[in-house]
Amino acid sequence: MKAITRFQATDHGRCHREYFSGRALSTYGFANAVIGQGFSLDKAIDDCLSQIEQAGFDIGGMKRAIEQQGMWDSTPYTPSDDVNARHHVSIRWD
């Protein structure tokens, strides 16, 4: 597994899954990025971490750091009127 030296996690909130504009890498100085989506914040973070792990990176320290930042929200999902709305999170890392 490859080590992660630094990362930045961003909660983009809920928006329609077809209209999310994405995230850039070049202006922030990171080599990698993923975007996760889910019906809740914790599911979107899980989606990101799963993608990072599948790319061959060790996510153990990253998961603990996100939990310590208080970003992890295990609030149960409450259906909204828009079934296409998803919570979006991006993580950039080196």
Crossing angle of the two packed helices 41-54 and 60-68, in degrees rounded to 10: 160
Distance (Å, rounded) from C-alpha 34 to C-alpha 23? 8
Angle at 19 between CA 21 and CA 22, to 5 degrees: 20
Least confident of 37-46, 51-60, 67-76, 85-94: 67-76
Q: Which two tokens stand for residue 76?
A: 């149960």
Residues 37-60, mean pLDDT to the nearest whole number:
92
24 has pLDDT over 60: no
Q: Read off the pLDDT band of 16 (50, 70, 90).
A: low
DSSP label at residue 35 = E
Spatial strand order of the sheet with 7-16 comes to 7-16, 85-93, 32-38
pLDDT digits (tens, 9 = 90+) for 53-77: 999 999 988 878 887 877 665 555 5
Least confident of 12-16, 49-53, 69-73: 69-73
Q: Choose the most confident range, by mean pLDDT, from 17-21, 28-32, 79-83, 84-88.
A: 28-32
Residue 60 identity (one-letter amino acid): G
User: What is the percent of the chain where pLDDT is above 90?
Assistant: 23
